[in-house]
A and B are shown apart, each in its own frame.
Chain A
Amino acid sequence: MTEPTITQPQAPVRSEGYWRTVWRNVRRNRRGMAGLIVIGLMLAVWIFSPLLATNQPIVCRYEGRWYFPAVVEVFQARRTGPQWINKARPFNLPQFDAKEQLDPDDFAIWPLIRWHEYEQSSDFLQPPSSRHWLGTDELGRDVAARMIHGTAVSVKVGFVSMGIAALIGIVLGGLAGYWGGFVDMVISRIIEIVICFPVFFLILAIMVWLEPNILNVMIVIGLTRWTGIARYTRGEFMRIKGQDYVVAAHCLGIGHGRIMFRHILPNALAPVLVSITFGIANAVLVEAGLSWLGFGVQSPDPSWGNILRTAYDSLNVAPHLVYPPCIAIFLAVLAYNLLGDALRDAIDPRLRGTT
């Protein structure tokens, strides 16, 4: 035997884990990476939106002093933020317009878009120009600024609603698949009942009763779109619970909870994750649809859906306004779908080409 003798105990070197391998495979997929980059950009735009589009400079020197009005505004806008930061005079005065009154010679770093999402001007329905990159809507608001601030809604709706849906779906699907029998029967019937409702109209009906705001949209989408995830999880749990390594875990006297979460769930998660990714794309679309119909985000708060609605209302006068929200929605949905495809291929190449 040429087995090398171990002279000193080594700390075990961990080999490449499963998720690392998946990540390596996703990285090799160009379209998936394009999707991931778009999603990353959306996240970045969401996080930095208060500094990307606002009517206050980020940093400026005014009458010999330094000010950070846009940054301070971020804290002020959040009720939970530090209350003691107040915007210094004269920036806190309503009649002070930094765009007009800041001396052009003063040092100032402006946001990319020098407009606030609610800020109205007297230029209605302008075509794109250097002053308003994507033009203005019927109230004279800068569409570019509204698009940037509307990103937050799409990002949050996707992740929060699918987070809720994933929680419900994985728990119910996991319980049904693991216990089978009566539990499975009850949960499967619940799933079938929820599936039977046409989701969009169910959401519409619920939104009539609830106050139409973004949080309710997210909750309602989450509460209605979990069935696919639940069915996926159920199937995976049923498949995996018969595997020898689960039997081995039972035989070792490991508890049910630990078996479900440590032995079955990690092996079941990959295909479920794919369906969650596709679900996010769908949630973005549903939110846009709801906002378009006026049941989602309410004006003046911007979302891609209600920007599209405003654009649609003045379609004859300013047809260019429909393009930005349409393209943004299209790109976001496409990005999530591409990422979902890439994930699916990375997880199991045999599934290529299926949904």
Chain B
Amino acid sequence: MIAEQRHLIEVADLKTHFPIRKGLLRRVVGEVKAVDGVSFRIAAGKTLGLVGESGCGKTTVGRTLLRLIPATEGRVLYSGRDVFALRNEQMRLLRRRMQLVFQDPYGSLNPRLTVENIVGEALAVHEGLSVHRRRDKVMAILEKVGLASHHAGRYPHEFSGGQRQRIGIARALALGPQFIVCDEPVSALDVSIQSQIVNLLKDLQAEMGLTYLFIAHDLAVVEHISDDVAVMYLGRIVEYASRNALYANPQHPYTRALMSAIPRPEPRRRRERIVLAGEVPSPSNPPSGCAFHPRCPLAEPRCAEEVQSLVGSASAEHRVACWKVSEENRRYCLQPRDTI
């Protein structure tokens, strides 16, 4: 990472808590800490992969920073501007710069609109283009995502999952955004289609200079597309590093467990497989201390009491939130070794 890089997105201590209401008076009896203090930065034109099990708050992070879900605490800066402080009209303008691609290619397209209207609606609303100019623009975008112009008059149900995902990407691209949150864009697709969509996203990034927050639970896909990777567990980032550093040298026990679960096409090589016991705890009632400690093979009493913050571990940029790992690394840092 180069120090003077311009950061398009800066997220600082983002928290999103959902109240749990009960009873006739809908009193708040607790809260689900879906996102509980997440910070990261994404440089312009780069991709941050956000990985974690389902239910760990990845999607909520994406939606909160686009202001689709109100944040409880924290700040999001887009090009230095505080997204949460914007008034509605300014926010509407900023919406053109930040977009979202959805996981579910079936639920994310309005079944009553043709592809032309799905992709072109934002143009009509924001730019007030005439029907003809709008059509030209829609056709150009469709071509860019690999669809043909005769698809424009069709309805979503006439397309396959991969094609629908292309339509969703076209819709996100319509206003010429700089930043796109890709919320598990390939998880619902066949493996053969996944690579097509990931490559399409990479091509578009190269061509248009897009910045991505790529949310996924598939580490292999994330490795392919990301520059940096953040691993989330129960509302917090537990490890945050450049892709090469993370994949070469995973630090956090959770990350190691995830890594060991990636299928590798080398059957002869014996690998240690770390199998985690138990389930992801409920974010409405998280374990004390480090949320991972009930399932952690390295856990010690301190882990149940305090949370280690995300601190530089293997290197200043490779940050891990784990007592054991940072302890080990303190020793390890005395004899520095070339990482990365």
A residues whose Cβ falls under 8 Å from a Cβ of B: 3-4, 6, 9-10, 12-15, 17-18, 243-245, 247-255, 258, 262-263, 266-267
Residues in chain B near residue A249, CB distance under 8 A = 110, 121
Which partner residue on chain A sits nearest B125 by CB separation? A254
Inter-chain contact B149/A6, CB cutoff 8 Å: yes
Residues in chain B near residue A258, CB distance under 8 A = 125
28 A-B residue pairings within 8 Å (CB atoms): A3-B148, A9-B149, A10-B150, A14-B114, A15-B153, A15-B155, A17-B155, A18-B155, A244-B102, A244-B104, A245-B110, A247-B68, A247-B100, A247-B102, A248-B102, A248-B171, A249-B121, A251-B66, A251-B95, A252-B99, A252-B121, A252-B125, A252-B171, A253-B93, A253-B125, A262-B113, A262-B121, A267-B111
Residues in chain A near residue B96, CB distance under 8 A = 253
Known A245-B107, A253-B96, A263-B110; judge A4-B148 contact (CB<8 A). Answer: yes
What number of A-B contacts does a CB cutoff of 8 Å give? Answer: 91
Cβ contact of A6, chosen from B92, B100, B107, B150, cutoff 8 A: B150
Known A4-B148, A12-B114; judge A253-B153 contact (CB<8 A). Answer: no
17 extra A-B contacts, CB within 8 A, seeds A9-B139, A247-B102, A252-B175: A14-B153, A14-B154, A18-B111, A243-B108, A244-B107, A247-B100, A248-B102, A250-B68, A251-B99, A252-B125, A252-B126, A252-B174, A253-B96, A253-B125, A254-B125, A263-B110, A267-B112
Inter-chain contact B153/A12, CB cutoff 8 Å: yes
Residues in chain A near residue B95, CB distance under 8 A = 251-253
Complex Cα gap A65–B102 (Å): 76
Complex Cα gap A164–B220 (Å): 58
Complex Cα gap A252–B108 (Å): 13
Chain B stretch 112-160: residues in CB contact (< 8 A) with chain A:
112-114, 116, 121-122, 125-126, 135, 139, 148-155, 158
Which partner residue on chain B sits nearest A181 by CB separation? B26
Inter-chain contact B155/A253, CB cutoff 8 Å: no
Residues in chain B near residue A251, CB distance under 8 A = 66, 68, 95, 98-100
The yes or no answer to B109 lying at the interface (CB within 8 A) is: yes
Inter-chain contact A245/B114, CB cutoff 8 Å: no
Inter-chain contact B125/A15, CB cutoff 8 Å: no
Known A247-B63, A252-B175; judge A15-B114 contact (CB<8 A). Answer: yes
Inter-chain contact B107/A243, CB cutoff 8 Å: yes
Known A254-B121, A254-B125, A267-B110; judge A12-B104 contact (CB<8 A). Answer: no
B residues whose Cβ falls under 8 Å from a Cβ of A: 63, 66, 68, 91-93, 95-96, 98-100, 102, 104, 107-114, 116, 121-122, 125-126, 135, 139, 148-155, 158, 168, 171, 174-175
Residues in chain B near residue A248, CB distance under 8 A = 100, 102, 108, 168, 171
Complex Cα gap A263–B117 (Å): 11
Known A14-B114, A255-B125; judge A245-B152 contact (CB<8 A). Answer: no
- Closest Cβ of chain A: how far from B171's Cβ, in Å? 7
Which partner residue on chain B sits nearest A9 by CB separation? B149
Residues in chain B near residue A255, CB distance under 8 A = 125
Inter-chain contact A18/B112, CB cutoff 8 Å: yes
Residues in chain B near residue A254, CB distance under 8 A = 121-122, 125
- Closest Cβ of chain A: how far from B124's Cβ, in Å? 9
- Closest Cβ of chain A: how far from B18's Cβ, in Å? 14
- Closest Cβ of chain A: how far from B24's Cβ, in Å? 12
Complex Cα gap A355–B125 (Å): 39
Residues in chain A near residue B155, CB distance under 8 A = 15, 17-18
